[in-house]
Amino acid sequence: MLSRRDFIVGGSAATAAYLAGSYVPLLAQNAANIGAPSVVQVGFRKQKVGDIEIIALNDGVVRRPLAAEFVRNAPLDQVQELLRTQGLPTDYIDIPFTAFLVVAGNRRILLDTGFADNGAPTTGRLQQNLNAAGFKVEDIDTVVISHYHGDHINGLRNKAGQLVYPNAKIMVPSVEHAFWMDDARMNAAPEGMRGAFGAVRRVFGGLSADQLLQFEAGREIVPGITAMAAYGHTPGHSLFVAQSRGEKFAYVADITNIPSLFARNPDWAVQFDMNPEAARDARRRTFEMVVNEKMMAGGYHFPFPAFGRIEKLGNGYDFKPVA
Ligand SMILES: [Zn+2]
């Protein structure tokens, strides 16, 4: 069982750094040993789902040393063995960041935002990939946020404080918003966690009620896109299902971190899951839904192009990226 403290702290100083979106110290500390991640060369990919178009937009990749705490509830040698059987490196993890643009009629809806210029040097590429895909930041009418971790929200504002998508309404899960915007909770949080609360205020502070819209799970939030509760990774972590002509696309956000570990073994908890037990239940529920309803799935930390099919494999699931 996890204590209340685990839920709030999220496990470790490394988690706090992750939440705040500051990967750079981790990189600098280990750069000599593990090298830099390879950049995704063509960082956008278009996919039709019925009449709508889904465009994966990569923001970058960060390489982290594979430390014992990355998977909270499995020994490191088991984690390394699972990577080895898939031909993956065992001393580091490359974590990609990929947002999705939904083009539906005259609507342009961006799901999550990357870092803009607030992250590690190997991030911040979403805008150039958006341009390469044929769109400008001004074209985005709505930004929908899955949860308030730094790698998902920091791209809403650049370092100078300007909104990156000047014409967009910003839609956020009401449960997530209530958790992070609670000043009493921030003030009671341990020092290492303050950065995460601060990042939320940097991004959402000063937005008018007209710009910032909160949504409830289970509702259609824009025509053709429904929000679903998948609480656990964070208190209000939400995912989104877009449908058109009987075809469905599920943006599953951080229902897993890299699928080579957490889809293969859904009972493993990544160190960033704030409530690991709820996160595990949400993960299994979500994968069952995606498989049973034959949805196309996209995940924020899936290997680029970051969308594809989910298939059952053993006690878990396998992610099969689109060709
Ligand atoms: Zn994330």
**C-alpha of residue 166 to centroid of ligand 1, in Å:** 23
Residue 282 has pLDDT above 80, yes or no: yes
Residue 184 has pLDDT above 70, yes or no: yes
**C-alpha of residue 227 to centroid of ligand 1, in Å:** 18
Binning pLDDT at 50, 70 and 90, where does residue 4 land?
very low
Is 35 or 277 the better-scoring residue by pLDDT?
277
Q: 124-129 long-range CB contacts below 8 Å, 24 or more apart?
A: 124/59, 124/60, 124/155, 125/39, 125/40, 125/43, 125/58, 125/59, 125/60, 126/57, 126/58, 126/59, 126/99, 126/155, 127/164, 128/43, 129/43, 129/44, 129/57, 129/58, 129/59
**C-alpha of residue 245 to centroid of ligand 1, in Å:** 30
pLDDT in tens, 117-152: 999 999 999 999 999 999 999 999 999 999 999 999
Residues 152, 92 contacting (CB under 8 angstroms): no
**C-alpha of residue 77 to centroid of ligand 1, in Å:** 24
Q: What is the mean pLDDT of residues 21-37?
A: 53
pLDDT for the residue numbered 296: 98
**C-alpha of residue 259 to centroid of ligand 1, in Å:** 13
Residue 22 has pLDDT above 80, yes or no: no
Give per-residue burial for 127-160: e unless 16+ CB within 10 Å, then b. Answer: bebbeebebebeebebbbbbbbbbbbbbbbbbee
What integer best gives the mean pLDDT of the chain?
Answer: 91
pLDDT for the residue numbered 34: 79
pLDDT for the residue numbered 36: 87
**C-alpha of residue 47 to centroid of ligand 1, in Å:** 22
Hey, what are 204's tokens?
Answer: 């959402």
**C-alpha of residue 138 to centroid of ligand 1, in Å:** 25
User: What is the residue-wise DSSP string for 39-60?
Assistant: PPSS-EEEEEETTEEEEEEEEE
* Range name among 7-21, 40-54, 190-204 with the lowest pLDDT average: 7-21
Binning pLDDT at 50, 70 and 90, where does residue 20 land?
very low
**C-alpha of residue 124 to centroid of ligand 1, in Å:** 14
**C-alpha of residue 153 to centroid of ligand 1, in Å:** 10
Calpha distance 123→151 (Å, rounded): 10
Binning pLDDT at 50, 70 and 90, where does residue 29 land?
very low
Binning pLDDT at 50, 70 and 90, where does residue 33 land?
low
Hey, what are 89's tokens?
Answer: 């490196």
Residue 292 has pLDDT above 60, yes or no: yes
Binning pLDDT at 50, 70 and 90, where does residue 31 land?
very low
Residue 300 has pLDDT above 70, yes or no: yes
Bridge partners of residue 304, in order along the sequence: none
Residue 109 has pLDDT above 80, yes or no: yes
**C-alpha of residue 84 to centroid of ligand 1, in Å:** 24
The three-class DSSP label of residue 296 is strand
Is 25 or 322 the better-scoring residue by pLDDT?
322
**C-alpha of residue 312 to centroid of ligand 1, in Å:** 23
Residue 250 has pLDDT above 80, yes or no: yes
Residue with tokens 């060369």, as numbered in its chain? 41
The three-class DSSP label of residue 15 is helix
Cα Rg of the chain, angstroms: 18
Residues 34, 63 contacting (CB under 8 angstroms): yes
Q: What is the mean pLDDT of residues 252-272?
A: 97
* Range name among 20-29, 188-197, 275-284, 288-297 with the lowest pLDDT average: 20-29
Map out the domains of the chain with their CATH numbers: 4-321 (3.60.15.10)
Calpha distance 158→124 (Å, rounded): 10
Bridge partners of residue 143, in order along the sequence: 110, 170
Hey, what are 40's tokens?
Answer: 């995704």
Binning pLDDT at 50, 70 and 90, where does residue 67 land?
very high
Residue with tokens 């039709």, as numbered in its chain? 48
> Of how many residues is the chain composed?
323
**285, HSE (Cβ side, Cα atoms, 13 Å):** 12
